[in-house]
């Protein structure tokens, strides 16, 4: 009889890719994918804990499976990823959701198959979270779900300890893969027909394999075949002139950069332990624009960090105006147990953070809208990624990361198409193929 799995993923691209690795493990065990937990023999929650609402979201969905599990006792529920990797969280999870069968962390994802076997052999509840990161596992066979894009890890973990952030605690110290393994992986993905490669790391610029990130990028861009190359995330303190040069010299590397600034106030940046000033950040932006004037820059911003005054917040608004982001992710600071900022005085009241985030979102959206308008009438090259059944339109992005929607009689997923932009609506563009 066929056995089915259903994976629910929260969090960043790292987790999206790790869910592909989980799918690979399950497929090897003979499971097949299904769309609903109701039809699954195993449901895996791959969780995130970056902000409190990410945790609550996962808790809510795990809670919703209680009834289903009571009706189908042989169904296995597994919870993994960043949430259980937090100190002492696995036990708490077990108490809160006693019907969860398997709890695992980020450092032992590759052991999931063995944990499932233990459960199938009759163990009541398998809790296995490793404290330390261990060696990089090169054995995984991800079952990729994001064609025409393929995610490729170049490094794991983070050493930066930004004072608000939980990632270093749940992902361990930085480890880089060997350049040879990375290049081999990209080469085979391109030959399999993937058209976009996105290199992943918490801070790709501190790649410390057997060469610098700039050289690695250059080598990957030199691989034969038609594909786009993206990478994320870049920490501004390590984003170098060499990387800018490689981006400028290699047309395969997309003209866009995600450069999270977090705040425009030097006082707050210092308290965040970001190790750059607003001026230094702007210098890097200027250096990038001097070489690649049309480069789209995106960012992450946090409001309501402990001690943030109106003056600090205004400095963030000023910086956003000065840079002119193509788009930005905006977050309200969320206190994370165990991080340095959790114990800082002057935590900001919710109503102040709410007011600030609304103001910031409005500014960011107005910049995005203005930029979108400049697209109307132009022809852009889109890599078609998917079909939006609700709208009856295909969609994809240009190299700057801008989303475009268009009709097509034939299936063009995985193809580069030229789209003439007819309308701009917020972040997204609609148009028609001119080819």
49 counts as binding ligand F3S under rule CB under 6 A: yes
Site string for ligand F3S, 138-177 (x = CB under 6 A): ----------------------------xx--xx------
Name the segment binding ligand SF4 (CB under 6 A); options: 112-120, 157-165, 327-335, 369-377.
157-165
Q: Of the candidates 14, 24, 53, which has an alpha carbon nearest to the alpha carbon of residue 332?
A: 53
Check if the beta carbon of residue 299 is closer than 8 Å to that of residue 401.
Answer: no
Residues 78-113 as b/e (b if ≥16 CB within 10 A, e otherwise) read bbbbbbbbbeebbeebbeebebbbbbbbbbbbbbbe
Of residues 57, 111, 145, 168, which one binds ligand SF4 by CB under 6 A?
Answer: 168
Of residues 12, 190, 278, 395, which one binds ligand F3S by CB under 6 A?
Answer: 12
301 counts as binding ligand SF4 under rule CB under 6 A: no
Q: What single DSSP character describes residue 343?
A: G
Site string for ligand F3S, 63-82 (x = CB under 6 A): -------------------x
48 counts as binding ligand F3S under rule CB under 6 A: yes
- DSSP assignment of 204-250 equals GGG--SSS-HHHHHHHHHTSSSS-EEEEE---GGG--HHHHHHHHH-
Least Å distance, CB 82 to ligand F3S, is 3
> Where do contacts with ligand SAH occur on this chain (CB under 6 A)?
50-51, 164-165, 167, 202-203, 233, 235, 260, 262, 300, 302, 331, 333-334, 336
Check if the beta carbon of residue 396 is closer than 8 Å to that of residue 404.
Answer: yes
Q: How many other C-beta atoms lie within 10 A of the C-beta of residue 342?
A: 15
Q: Of the candidates 428, 138, 427, 408, which has an alpha carbon nearest to the alpha carbon of residue 418?
A: 408
Least Å distance, CB 304 to ligand SAH, is 8
Q: What whole-number distance in Å separates Cα of residue 401 and Cα of residue 430?
A: 14
Q: Please, which residue, 19 or 367, has the CB nearer to ligand F3S?
A: 19
Residues that bind ligand F3S (CB under 6 A): 11-12, 14-15, 48-50, 82, 166-167, 170-171
Contact positions vs ligand SF4 (CB under 6 A): 158, 160-162, 165, 167-168, 202-203, 235
């Amino acid at each position: 009889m066929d056995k089915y799995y259903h994976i629910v993923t929260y969090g960043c691209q790292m987790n999206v890719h790790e869910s592909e690795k989980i799918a690979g493990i399950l497929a090897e065990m003979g499971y097949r994918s299904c769309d609903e937990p109701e039809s699954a023999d195993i449901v895996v929650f791959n969780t995130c804990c970056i902000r409190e609402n990410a945790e609550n979201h996962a808790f809510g969905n795990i809670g919703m499976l209680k009834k289903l599990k009571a009706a189908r006792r042989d169904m296995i529920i597994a919870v993994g990823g960043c949430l259980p990797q937090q100190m002492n969280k696995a036990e708490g999870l077990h108490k809160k959701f006693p019907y969860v069968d398997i709890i695992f962390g980020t450092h032992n994802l590759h052991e999931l198959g063995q944990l499932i076997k233990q459960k199938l052999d009759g163990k009541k509840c398998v809790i296995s979270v490793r404290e330390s990161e261990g060696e990089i596992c090169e054995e995984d066979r991800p079952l990729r779900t994001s064609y025409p894009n393929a995610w490729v890890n170049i490094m794991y973990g983070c050493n930066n300890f930004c004072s608000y952030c939980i990632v270093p605690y749940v992902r361990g110290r930085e480890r880089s893969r060997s350049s040879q393994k990375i290049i081999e992986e990209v080469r085979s993905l391109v030959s399999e027909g993937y058209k976009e490669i996105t290199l992943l790391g918490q801070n790709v610029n501190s790649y410390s394999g057997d060469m610098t990130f700039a050289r690695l990028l250059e080598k990957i861009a030199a691989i034969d075949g038609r594909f786009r190359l993206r990478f994320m995330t870049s920490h501004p303190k390590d984003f170098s002139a060499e990387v800018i040069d490689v981006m400028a010299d290699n047309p395969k590397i997309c003209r866009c950069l995600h450069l999270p600034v977090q705040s425009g106030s030097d006082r707050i940046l210092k308290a965040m332990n970001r190790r750059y000033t607003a001026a230094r950040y702007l210098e890097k932006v200027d250096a990038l624009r001097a070489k690649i004037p049309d480069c789209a820059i995106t960012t992450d911003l946090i409001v309501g960090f402990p001690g943030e005054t109106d003056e600090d917040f205004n400095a963030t608004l000023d910086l956003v105006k000065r840079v002119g982001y193509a788009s930005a992710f905006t977050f309200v600071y969320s206190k994370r147990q165990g991080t340095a900022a959790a114990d800082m005085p002057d935590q900001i009241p919710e109503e102040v953070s709410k007011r600030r985030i609304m103001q910031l979102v409005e500014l960011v959206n107005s910049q995005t809208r203005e930029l979108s308008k400049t697209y109307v009438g132009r022809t852009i090259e889109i890599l078609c990624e998917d079909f939006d059944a609700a709208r009856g339109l295909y969609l994809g992005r240009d190299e700057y990361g801008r989303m475009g929607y268009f009709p097509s009689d034939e299936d063009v997923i995985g193809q580069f198409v030229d789209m003439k932009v007819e309308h701009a609506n917020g972040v997204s563009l609609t148009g028609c193929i001119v080819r």
